[in-house]
Amino acid sequence: MKKILVPFDGSGYSQKAFEKGLEIAEKFESKLIVMTVLQSKISDSAGISLERLEEIQEEEEDAATAMLKKLEDQANEKNIPFSIKIIHNPSSSDGIVSFADNNNIDLIVIGSHGRTGFRKIVLGSVASGVLEHAKCPVLITKGTE
């Protein structure tokens, strides 16, 4: 197991997934990749200039980078190779699965729910989509918000 992917949205659920991913990466001497999927809201942009849309996108990327960089210290303490990735995709689950497929990910560790508001009764919609479509093994962690 060389590459472990942890989708991270800042929720308590994704924090639990990160902690589990860190534990597995340490045990198997794997590289840990933590990612965030930004969902562009172009449809909500009526009346906003292209320049302002680009500024908004840059602000979102900066905030996501800052959030993910906070996790880097924990990986460095354990000497775990660590990288962050921010991608844009209207569907978080599709973005995660596509990234995993294109980057030879060996394991995805994802929280059972995230910040996507309404929860499904059994499993969050993003985790469910990743579980259904990923070609590699998926570990779903449970935890409370």
pTM for this entry: 0.87
- Rounded Cα–Cα distance for residues 76 and 63 (Å): 21
pLDDT at 28: 96
**Domains observed in the chain:** 3-141 (3.40.50.620)
What does the pLDDT profile of the chain (145 residues) look like in tens digits? 999 999 999 988 999 999 999 999 999 999 999 999 998 665 555 667 778 888 888 898 999 999 999 999 999 999 999 999 999 998 999 999 999 999 999 999 999 876 544 444 445 788 999 999 999 999 999 876 5
Helix (H, G, I), strand (E, B) or coil at 45: coil
Which letter, b or e, does each residue of 6-45 get, where b requires 16 or more Cβ atoms within 10 Å of its Cβ? bbbbebebbbbbbbbbbebbeeeebbbbbbbbbeeeeeee
